[in-house]
Amino acid sequence: MKNSHTSRTSDEKVKYLKLLSRDFPNRDSASTKIINLQAILNLPKGTEHFLSDVHGEDESFFHVLKNGSGVIKTKIERTFKGELTSSGMRELATLVYYPEETLEYRLKNEDSDEFYEINLLRLIRLTKVVTVKYTRMKIRKALPKEFAYIIEELLYEYGQADNRYYNEIIRTIIELDRAGAFIVALAEVIQRFAVAHLHIIGDIYDRGHGAHIIMDRLESYHSLDIQWGNHDILWMAAASGSLASIASAIRISLRYGCLATLEEGYGISLRPLSIFAYEYYSGDPCPKFMPKSNPPNHTFTEKERDEISKMQKAIAMIQFKLEAQIVLRNPQWGMQNRTILDKVNLEKGVVEIDGIEYELNDTNMKTLSKSEPFQLNSDEEDVMRQLKKSFMKSEKLQRHTRMLYNRGAVYACYNNNLLYHGCIPMDEKGEFLPIQLDENSYSGKELLDKCDFYSRKGFFSEDSKKREFGQDVMWFLWAGKDSPLFGKEKMTTFESYFIDDKSTSVEPKNWYYKFRDEEESCIKILSEFGLSGNARIVNGHVPVKVKKGESPIKAGGKLIVIDGGFSRAYQGVTGIAGYTLIYNSEGMALVSHGSFISTEDSIKNGTDIAVSTEVIENHKERILVKQSDVGKKLSEEIQDLRELLFMYREGIIKEK
For 538, the enclosing helix (H) or strand (E) is strand 536-539
Q: CA-CA distance, 101 to 114, in Å (whole number)?
A: 18
Biggest CA pair distance of the chain: 92
CA nearest 582: which of 533, 538, 516?
538
Residue pLDDT, tens place only, 590-640:
888 877 777 787 787 777 776 777 888 888 888 999 999 999 999 999 999
Quote the pLDDT of residue 63.
85
Q: Between the CA atoms of 456, 461, 463 and 467, what dihedral angle is there, to the nearest 10 degrees?
A: 40
**pLDDT mean values, one per 10 residues, the chain (656 residues):** 49 89 94 92 91 91 86 91 91 92 83 87 90 82 83 72 73 89 92 92 93 95 96 98 98 95 96 97 94 87 96 98 98 96 96 96 95 97 98 98 98 96 97 97 98 98 97 98 97 97 95 96 97 93 84 93 80 77 90 78 74 81 91 94 93 90
Over the Cα atoms of the chain, what is R_g? 28
Closest to 598 in 3D by CA, of 43, 37, 97, 60? 60
Give the residue from 186, 183, 125 showing the smallest Cα distance to 156: 125
* Phi/psi-derived region of residue 286, left when phi > 0, alpha when psi is between -120 and 50, beta in every other case: left
Q: Which residues contact 391 (CB under 8 A, 6 or more apart)?
A: 238, 239, 241, 246, 266, 268, 397
Backbone angles phi, psi at 71, to 5 degrees: -65, -45
State the Cα–Cα distance between residues 656 and 650, nearest whole angstrom.
15
Cβ count near 476 (within 10 Å): 27
pLDDT at 7: 47
* Alpha-carbon span 152 to 145, nearest angstrom: 11
For the chain, the domains span 2-43+629-650, 48-201+540-623, 224-410+429-516
Whole-angstrom distance between the N-terminal and C-terminal Cα of the chain?
26
Give the Cα-Cα-Cα angle 498, 421, 407 (nearest 5 degrees). Answer: 120
Element (H, E) at 344: strand 344-345
Q: Rounded CA gap, 503 and 20, in Å?
A: 64
Contact 33, 24 (CB under 8 A): yes
HSE of 305, CA atoms in CB hemisphere, 13 A: 14
Q: Tell me how far apart the alpha carbons of residues 303 and 50 are, in angstroms, rounded to a whole number.
A: 41
Phi, psi for residue 514 in degrees, rounded to 5: -90, -45
Residues 364, 281: Cα–Cα separation, whole Å: 8
Q: What is the pLDDT of residues 166-193, one digit of tens each?
A: 788 888 888 998 989 999 999 999 999 8
Which residues 6+ apart lie within 8 Å of 119 measured at CB? Answer: 92, 95, 183
Which one, of 213, 247, 235, lies nearest residue 401 by Cα? 235
Query: Which residue, 416, 366, 411, 389, is CA-closest to 632?
Result: 416
> Among 623, 590, 529, which Cα is nearest to 42's?
623
Q: Who's near 593: CB < 8 A, 6+ residues apart? A: 60, 64, 69, 564, 566, 576, 577, 578, 579, 580, 609, 610, 611
Strands 224-227 and 408-409: parallel
Dihedral over Cα of 95, 101, 105, 110: its sign: positive
Three-state DSSP at 132 gives: coil
Q: Hey, which residues does 512 pair with through a beta bridge?
A: none
> What are the Cα distances from residue 310, in Å, to 50, 306, 359, 388, 566?
39, 6, 22, 20, 29
Q: Are 2 and 632 in contact (CB under 8 A)?
A: no
Residue 21 near residue 653 (C-beta atoms within 8 A): yes
- Three-class SS of residue 591? strand
Q: How far apart are CA 535 and CA 560, in angstroms?
A: 11
Q: Left, alpha or beta for 482 (phi > 0: left; psi -120 to 50: alpha)?
A: left
| Long-range pairs for 117-123: beta carbons < 8 A, 24 or more residues apart | 117/170, 117/171, 117/174, 119/92, 119/95, 119/183, 120/170, 120/173, 120/174, 120/179, 120/182, 120/183, 120/186, 121/170, 122/80, 122/92, 123/95, 123/96, 123/183, 123/186, 123/187, 123/190
Q: What's the CA gap between 433 and 442, in Å, rounded?
A: 8
Distances 552 to 137, 296, 478, 611 between C-alpha atoms, Å: 39, 30, 24, 15
